[in-house]
Chain A
Amino acid sequence: MEVKIIRKVLDVNDAIAHKNRNLFKEKGIFVINVMSSPGSGKTSILEKTLSHLVPEVSCAVIVGDISTTNDADRLAKQNAPVVQINTDGFGGDCHLTAHVIESALSSFDLDKIDLLIVENVGNLVCPAEFDIGEDKRVVILSVAEGEDKPVKYPLMFRVCDAALLNKIDLLPYLDYDKNAALENISKIHPDMPVFEVSAKTQEGFSKWIEWLKECIREKKKQGK
């Protein structure tokens, strides 16, 4: 006997993400979910991003890794509260889920935060499937990786709202075809803004920081 069910498998996650989103809206907090493959420079970009924003913008960070507190230790030096989530307690999960974010929120005074940055676990596959209640999703790729990353991981590049192409200071030393990478992004997500940056030299950071500040201003306006 066939029985209809028709349920989204990720219903439970989506319901908690919705709850998180409502809370962020009520508090006027702009939330970005930053995703990339391991080694693309997520933590370095976030260190530099915080140094540009703090103290003008009140920031907080949730960092997801399978193990260690190395990234949180680095980010904590930027004068923003940081919570490290180690997913080894959740079976070594390769992504952050909405309920993990929900439980991390109790560590912050949400009335004092303008921008919450979530540094997801380094992985271009799984985090793309899990809504955590964020406003914008940002993907980072670096010129030390393949130009075809966007077409190899299409869901990630499709669900994101902005991309950062990092380590551009290395371009003179590599055979990387930057235009091919940008064309690949454009096939999957034609209108997505792409910021070409170097976390080492901070080249290209002004446009990225301005984009973030504009998003934070918009969120504040919506909350009023």
Chain B
Amino acid sequence: MHEMGIALQIIDIVKSAIPSHDIKVKKVNLKIGKLSAVVPESLRFCFDVVKKETPLSNAILYVEETPVVLKCKQCNNQWTIKDLVFICTKCSSSSVDIISGRELDIHSMEVEE
């Protein structure tokens, strides 16, 4: 769905991070939260389409999926959710922060020596 636009953004960010376009990028490491609305397989497909004729033409995308971790604002309980229930497992408070699970971040890249 919107993975094509995201793939283009990744190419732009990586290109701006390399000092010369002669440098070939081998791998881009991403962190994508399980709550994010991005499908890693679709993103890889789109990335392979848009990477041609760029310094990333031989690069692969490595996606680390991060779990949904919540923290209760009332009792500080922190837990990883399996079922999608945003209520504290200890004190039943509904006042919770999402600590991780919404990431859509580029973490690093690997370039040819």
Contact = CB atoms under 8 A, between A and B. Distances in A.
A130 B102 CA distance: 12
A126 B85 contact: no
A158 B29 CA distance: 27
Nearest to B32: A9
A155 B37 contact: yes
Contact of A123 (B1, B102, B112): B1
A8 interface: yes
Main SS of chain B's interface residues? Answer: mixed
A18 B93 CA distance: 31
Interface centre among A5, A155, A156 (most CB of B within 10 A): A5
Contacts of A93: 2, 5
B107 A6 contact: yes
Chain A contact residues: helix, strand, loop or mixed: mixed
A215 interface: no
A221 interface: no
A1 interface: yes
A4 interface: yes
B1 A5 contact: no
Contacts, number: 94
Interface residues of A, number: 33
Interface string A152-187: 001110100000000000000000000000000001
B84 A95 contact: no
A89 interface: no
A123 B1 CA distance: 10
Most chain A CB inside 10 Å of its own CB: which residue of B12, B14, B85 = B85
B76 interface: no
A188 to B, nearest CB: 6
Interface in A27-55: none
Contacts of B13: 5, 7, 9, 11
Interface in B86-113: 86-87, 94-95, 98, 102, 104-113
Given A94-B2, A154-B35, A8 B105 contact: yes
Nearest to B111: A1
B37 A5 contact: no
Given A6-B108, A9-B9, A191-B94, A125 B113 contact: no
A21 B17 CA distance: 28
B87 A125 contact: no
B38 interface: yes
Contacts of A8: 104-106
Contact of B9 (A5, A10, A95): A10
B60 interface: no
CB-based closest 7 A-B pairs: A190-B94, A126-B2, A187-B85, A125-B37, A154-B84, A9-B104, A5-B106
